[in-house]
C-alpha cells in the first residue's frame, strides 16, 4: 500500500480516537455503493477499479455500512459457498461447542459417495464408512472444500441429504436469506441450488459473530485431520483460499477466511473477510471468469513473477485483494455532525428578560466511513426547526431535527436540542395573553353569548312594549 494513503488512514484513526464522545447515529441507508478506485492517473484523477466479478457485496462489519453493492441481489449458483450454510446447520446442532463437536463422530455409506465419483469434486479424502469427529468434518468441509465431508455431515445429522437441506432452508429463512434455496449440502450441483451475494453475506456474518470455532477453522491455511478411523497417520488438507497461504502469490495477510466456490455454472466465487488496524470488512463475490482472459496473457509475459504468468488465474481472489486494498487505503472515518457545534436558533415566545430565541445543537455526533475522495458537499444536511415554541424551554429539549442524506438517500436523522434553559416571563405572558385574547376561541365564544343575550333582551323588550300598547 502507498505510504501517503496509510498516513491518511492513520490521521483519520487519530481523529476518531480524539472524538471519543462521538456516537454513531441511526443509519437508514441500505447501501452507499461507493465506486472503488485503484489509484490516480498522471493528471491526479482517480482511476476506477475494474472488477472481474459481476456480483459484488462488501460490508463494513463494524458499522454494517454496505460500501459496495453490484448486483448483490441477483440469484446465482453459489457453488461451494453452499458449504457455509452446511457448516452453520452443523454448528447450530452443537451450539458451537468445540468439545461436543470433537466427541461426536459421523460416517456415511457408499451411496453418499456415488454422485461424487468422477465428478471432479473437491474432497477431503475421507473414506466410506470412516468415522470422523464433527470438528474434523467441519475442517474438512471448509478448508479443502470437501464434498465428502458435506455429505457425511448431512447423512450423520439427518440420515439423508433431503432432510438436511430442509434444515438448511429453514435456517436461511430465519436469517432473512429471501433469495436463496439449497438443494444439496456441497454446492456441486446448481439444480434448484441458488443464492445471492447479499444472502451469503448474511450467513457469513451470522457464523462469524456467533461461533468462535467457525472463525478459527476458516482462517487456517492447512490442517491435519487426526481422528479418522481409516487414516491413523492423519489426513493433511490445505485451504482452497490462497489468500491464506503465505507461499502463494495471492497471499493477503489481512485475510482471515472464509470460503471459495468454483463450478462451471457459477464461475469463481468467494466469501472472505479481512481485518487491519481493527477495521473489519466482509466481501462476497460471484461469477468471476474461470478461464484466463486474453488480455492477461501479455501481463504474464511481461511479468513472469505475477499471478498472470500461470495458466490459471483466480480472478475471485484478485477482486477481493483489490477491494480490501482500496478500502484500507481510501476509506476513513469522517465526522459529519459534531454535537458541540451550535448550528441554529429557534424562536421562542414569552421568554424571561425579553429573550426571544434559544440556540440549538445536535443531540449527538455522527460519523461515517467514507472514501477520502467523497467531498463534504456531497453529504447534504437539512435542518427543520419547530415553530410556535413557548417558554419555558429547558436545556436538552428537542426543538428541531437535522437530516443527513447522501445521493438522495437518508442516512441519519438527529434531533436538535436546546443548549440552555429559558424561563417564562410572567408580565410578558400576561400582556401577550391580553393582546391575543380577542383572537382566541374563548373570546369568540364569550362574544357570541353576549350577542345572543343582547338579542334576547331586545326581543323581550319589544314584546313587552307591544303588549302595553295593545292594552291601551
Summarised one tens digit per residue, pLDDT across range 227-270 is 899 999 999 999 999 999 999 999 999 999 999 999 999 999 99
pLDDT band at 456 (very low <50, low <70, confident <90, very high): confident
H or E segment and range at residue 48: strand 46-48
Q: How far is CA 350 from CA 5, 327, 418, 460, in A?
A: 55, 53, 16, 46
Which residues pair with residue 368 across a beta bridge? 334
pLDDT bucket at 463, cuts 50 / 70 / 90: confident
pLDDT at 14 exceeding the cut of 70? no
What's the confidence (pLDDT) of residue 22? 31
pLDDT at 457: 80
The answer to whether residues 412 and 365 touch, using CB atoms and an 8 Å cutoff, is no
The pLDDT score that the predictor gives to residue 9 is 43
Distance (Å) of CA 253 to CA 183, 239, 250: 35, 15, 10
Task: State residue 470's pLDDT score.
Answer: 65
- Contact predicate 260/35, CB 8 Å: no
Nearest partner of 292 among 274, 272, 270, 307, judged by Cα: 307
User: φ, ψ for residue 120 (rounded to 5)?
Assistant: 80, 10
Q: How far is it, in rounded angstroms, from Cα 170 to Cα 153? A: 17
Euclidean distance between CA atoms 27 and 413, whole angstroms: 8
pLDDT band at 432 (very low <50, low <70, confident <90, very high): low
Grid coordinates of 246: 503465505
DSSP state of 195: B
**CA dist., res. 171 & res. 92, Å (int):** 9
pLDDT at residue 190 in the model:
82
Residue 431: predicted pLDDT: 58
Kindly indicate the confidence band of residue 440, based on its pLDDT and cuts at 50, 70 and 90: low
pLDDT of residue 437: 55
* Cβ atoms of 322 and 38 closer than 8 Å: yes
Cβ neighbour number for residue 355 with a 10 Å cutoff: 16
Longest CA–CA separation in the chain, Å:
139
Which is higher by pLDDT, 125 or 7? 125
Start-to-end CA span in the chain (Å): 119
Q: Are 293 and 302 in contact (CB under 8 A)?
A: no
Residue 1 binned pLDDT confidence (cut-offs 50, 70, 90): very low
From the list 199, 327, 317, the residue with the least C-alpha distance to 258 is 317
The pLDDT value given to residue 436:
56
Cα distance between residue 145 and residue 138, in whole Å:
10
Asked if residue 274 has pLDDT above 50, the reply is yes
- What pLDDT sits at residue 28? 41
Record the cell numbers describing residue 100, joined without a space.
461436543
Amino acid at each position: 500500500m502507498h505510504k501517503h494513503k496509510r498516513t491518511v488512514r492513520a490521521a483519520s484513526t487519530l481523529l476518531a480516537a480524539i472524538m471519543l464522545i462521538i456516537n454513531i447515529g441511526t443509519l437508514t441507508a441500505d447501501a452507499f455503493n461507493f465506486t472503488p478506485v485503484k489509484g490516480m492517473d498522471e493528471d491526479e484523477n482517480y482511476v476506477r477499479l475494474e472488477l472481474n466479478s459481476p456480483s459484488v457485496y462488501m460490508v463494513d462489519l463494524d458499522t454494517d455500512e454496505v460500501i459496495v453493492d453490484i448486483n448483490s441481489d441477483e440469484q446465482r449458483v453459489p457453488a461451494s459457498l453452499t458449504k457455509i450454510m452446511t457448516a452453520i446447520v452443523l454448528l447450530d446442532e452443537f451450539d458451537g461447542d468445540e468439545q461436543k463437536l470433537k466427541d461426536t463422530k459421523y460416517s456415511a455409506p457408499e451411496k453418499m459417495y456415488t454422485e461424487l465419483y468422477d465428478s471432479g469434486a473437491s474432497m477431503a479424502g475421507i473414506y466410506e464408512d470412516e468415522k470422523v469427529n464433527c470438528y474434523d468434518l467441519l475442517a474438512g468441509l471448509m478448508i479443502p472444500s470437501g464434498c465428502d465431508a458435506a455429505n457425511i455431515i448431512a447423512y450423520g445429522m439427518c440420515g439423508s441429504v433431503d432432510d438436511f437441506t430442509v434444515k438448511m432452508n429453514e435456517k436461511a429463512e430465519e436469517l432473512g436469506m429471501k433469495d436463496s434455496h439449497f438443494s444439496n449440502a456441497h454446492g456441486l450441483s446448481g439444480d434448484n441450488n441458488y443464492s445471492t451475494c447479499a444472502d451469503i453475506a448474511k450467513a457469513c456474518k451470522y457464523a462469524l459473530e456467533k461461533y468462535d470455532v467457525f472463525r478459527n477453522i476458516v482462517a487456517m491455511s492447512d490442517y491435519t485431520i487426526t481422528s479418522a478411523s481409516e487414516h491413523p497417520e492423519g489426513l493433511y488438507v490445505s485451504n482452497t483460499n490462497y489468500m491464506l497461504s503465505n507461499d502463494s502469490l495471492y497471499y493477503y495477510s489481512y485475510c482471515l477466511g472464509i470460503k471459495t466456490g468454483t463450478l462451471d455454472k457459477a464461475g469463481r466465487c468467494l466469501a472472505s473477510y479481512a481485518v487491519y488496524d481493527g477495521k473489519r470488512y466482509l466481501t462476497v463475490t460471484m461469477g468471476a471468469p474461470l478461464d484466463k482472459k486474453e488480455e492477461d496473457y501479455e501481463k504474464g509475459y511481461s511479468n513472469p513473477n505475477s499471478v498472470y504468468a500461470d495458466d490459471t488465474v483466480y480472478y475471485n481472489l484478485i477482486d477481493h485483494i483489490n477491494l480490501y486494498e482500496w478500502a484500507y487505503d481510501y476509506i476513513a472515518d469522517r465526522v459529519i455532525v459534531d454535537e458541540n457545534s451550535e448550528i441554529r436558533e429557534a424562536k421562542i415566545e414569552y421568554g424571561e428578560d425579553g429573550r426571544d430565541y434559544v440556540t440549538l445543537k445536535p443531540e449527538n455526533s455522527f460519523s461515517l466511513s467514507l472514501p477520502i475522495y467523497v467531498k463534504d458537499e456531497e453529504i447534504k444536511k437539512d435542518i427543520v426547526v419547530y415553530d410556535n415554541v413557548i417558554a419555558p424551554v429547558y436545556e436538552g429539549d428537542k426543538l428541531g431535527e437535522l437530516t443527513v442524506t447522501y445521493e438522495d438517500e437518508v442516512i441519519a436523522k438527529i434531533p436538535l436540542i436546546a443548549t440552555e434553559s429559558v424561563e417564562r416571563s410572567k408580565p410578558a405572558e400576561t400582556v401577550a395573553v391580553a393582546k391575543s385574547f380577542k383572537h382566541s376561541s374563548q373570546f369568540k365564544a364569550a362574544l357570541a353569548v353576549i350577542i345572543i343575550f343582547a338579542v334576547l333582551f331586545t326581543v323581550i323588550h319589544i314584546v313587552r312594549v307591544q303588549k302595553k300598547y295593545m292594552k291601551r
